[in-house]
Amino acid sequence: MAEGEGFSRSILEEIQKTEGKHSVFEEQARRMPIPVCSVFLGKGGEIRPARFKETDMVLAAGELEALKQVFPKIMAKNGVTVLEAYADDSLAQISGKRVGVLFSGGPAPGGHNVLVGLKVALGKNNVLVGIRRGPGGLIKGNAFEISSDSLKDIFNTGGFDFLGTDRTKIKSPEQFEKVKETVSNNRLDGLVIVGGDDSNTNAAFIAEYFEGEGVDCKVVGIPKTIDGDMAVGKHLPISFGYDTATKIYSELVGNLTQDAASSVKYWHFVKLMGRTASKITLEVALQTKPAIALISEEIAEKNMSLEEIVDSIVRVITERRLRGINHGVILIPEGLIEFIPEMRNLIQELNKVLAEYERDIRDLPTLRNKLEFIYPRLTPQSAQLMASLPDDIEEMLILDRDDHGNVKVSQIETEKLLIEKIRYKVSELKRHPDKYFGMSEGKIAAGPDEIEKIKSMTLSTQSHFLGYEGRCGKPTAFDATFAFLLGLTAGSLILDGRTGYMAAVTDFDRGGRVLALPLPGLITAEMRKGKKEYVIEKSLVRTDSRSFRIFADNRERWAKQDLFSSPGPIQHWGPTSRQIPISVAVDQGYKSFIQFDLGEEREVTI
């Protein structure tokens, strides 16, 4: 089509210029300056690596004597003492080092800035080596030298696509031997593993293995996860990626709260990422003030049954209807079902039955035949619960299993399960109003006219799952800064000859404090699949935390009235661009969540 036939050639050229991650926004984002903690600034204001010294802080999540048995070399070398960075120009003179880096597990916004931070810390006289496709790539030796020019293109951008990632766990002697070969073949002096709790646990075991084998390669971990379950109190308030993900979800949930109020008829059931911890749900609730937000840890603590959860939701829906509000948003953590005691018992029993009778169940022709075979092999309580579930949920529990034969709990559509159960309960409430309404304790206070209003109530629902939308967004100003600083920290630790640590930054409200946390000090013993395993303990929502208490103290008002707020889209410059997660600010005792302070802004030269 020629110019003048419906489009301008200048517009076509503009469109083509934006191809390959060169939108106007992305081009501007690459030029954004980054705040830098003072320990990383030289006398002339240039960015350079820092050194580390011991503090009087110690970490010991597990039993010390047991940790010394599991990590004898690293414990003898480091103990469980936390290190702190201090300004020193000497590491900038080091040359000839080769440091590998890989991403492990699901992506999180900010990963590319970790790479830039590492490269800046290493400087021009050392080499950053990328490991493609995560720990699996490390085993296969899939490595390449990362150039400065390639990092300029990904600075301040989202995703893990530059290196890729996978979820391989390095456990067998053969795998460790392959890792040693990769280190030797690529002459690596250091290895940085960017990942969550399992990945950093792997980093601890690799560091111990290298020490035992006499491999002179330092190993450092970097905390990454959007779920927020990788946190260590005052030492590490949160991992990178959480801020961006929760802001993306909060914008979408804010839009849904506005839609519900505008349509005046919909109840939006929104499942949010976070299989183990409900930290995403808590943060999004504080940002948006929905009618209902379920917190898995509270439900487990209160030993609530599925029926009790359904009753509590129906009560809010009904009481809002009596006030003339027939709409709202309900937030549901992805891992809720595992925190409901009776559901957890059912899943454990199913895993056992499915493993023991796998061939028998597989050979039965229909779902009904399979269920009739399974029910007698469950406890009466679990059989009754399973029979009460919708057919599609029953089918998912039986047929959809992982590589170990266990139910894929994260794929169960909990939001749809709740919708089905709530629909039935609302129908029952309308058919038998005397059972649910009245002035006695536990009943909903309503007169005859109000009961008639309830009888005419319709329940229009929409279900959503917000998950992948938050994993690869362009990082917020906070995550871009945080990830860059973690990269600087890891690079500095390698140059300082440290191994078996995880990079950390804290004090987000007063210039930042750069720490190195001893990995064995984060590890505790857990029973997994009947065996004791040493892993980094996940950080869950604590019901005695300040952030949860603020939520709990206000949720009744949010349930009774439309007090929702829409935080809007992420700003990368502007009045909300320096916000940090509300839950983090509250739990850390900061005075405000509006403005983070991680040092003076600097133009980053790669």
* CATH number for position 449: 3.40.50.460
Q: How far apart are CA 349 and CA 386, in angstroms?
A: 11
CATH code: domain of residue 481: 3.40.50.450
**Residues designated catalytic:** 227
Would residue 551 count as lying in a domain?
Answer: no
Which of these three, 408, 440, 469, is where a domain ends? 469
Per the prediction, the chain carries an average pLDDT of 93
* Environment class of 403 (CB within 10 Å of its CB; exposed 0-12, middle 13-18, buried 19+): exposed
563 is a domain residue: no
Say if residues 555 and 293 touch (Cβ distance below 8 Å).
yes
- Which residues on adjacent β-strands are paired with residue 271? 332, 465
Q: What is the pLDDT of residue 275?
A: 86
Note whether 277 and 229 are same-domain residues: no
Alpha-carbon gap, residue 419 to 146, rounded angstroms: 49
How far is Cα 504 from Cα 233, in angstroms, rounded to an integer?
11
Q: Where are the beta strands (DSSP E) in 59-126?
A: 81-86, 98-103
Q: Are 532 and 511 members of one domain?
A: yes
Based on the domain organization, do 579 and 500 belong to the same domain? yes
pLDDT in tens, 132-142: 999 999 999 99
According to the model, what pLDDT value does residue 398 have?
84
Do 193 and 167 meet the contact criterion of CB atoms below 8 Å apart? no
Question: φ, ψ for residue 476 (rounded to 5)?
Answer: -60, 170
Domain for residue 329, yes or no? yes
Distance CA 220, CA 198 (A): 14
Give a yes or no: residue 198 inside a domain. Answer: yes
Residue at 68 is within a domain: yes
Q: Residues 44, 21: one domain?
A: no
Same domain, 232 and 252: no
Residues 111 and 20 in one domain: no
Does 4 reside within a domain? yes
Alpha helices in 534-593 (DSSP H): 546-560, 582-588
Asked if the structure places residue 549 within a domain, the reply is no
Q: Which segments in the chain show pLDDT lower than 50?
A: 1
Do 518 and 588 lie in one domain? The reply is yes
Domain count, the chain: 3
Last residue of a domain, one of 469, 486, 516: 469
Q: How far is CA 491 from the centre of its chain?
A: 24
Q: What's the pLDDT at 1?
A: 45
Residue 120, Cβ neighbours under 10 Å: how many? 26
Helix (H) and strand (E) counts for the chain? 25, 17
Tokens, residue 208: 């111990």
- Give yes or no: residues 76 and 46 share one domain: yes
Which pair of tokens denotes residue 178? 């392959």
pTM of the model: 0.94
**What does the DSSP assignment read for 439-473?**
SSTTSBP--HHHHHHHHT---EEEEEEESGGGTSS
The reply to whether 227 and 257 lie within a common domain is no
Is the domain of 153 the same as that of 185?
yes
Residue 10 is assigned to a structural domain of this protein: yes
Kindly state whether residues 344 and 413 are assigned to the same domain: yes
- Among 441, 469, 497, residue at a domain's last position: 469
The DSSP H or E segment spanning 518 is strand 513-518
Domain that holds residue 170: 31-237+475-539+575-602
Same domain for 377 and 428, yes or no, is yes
Beta strand pairing call for 218-223 and 266-272: unpaired
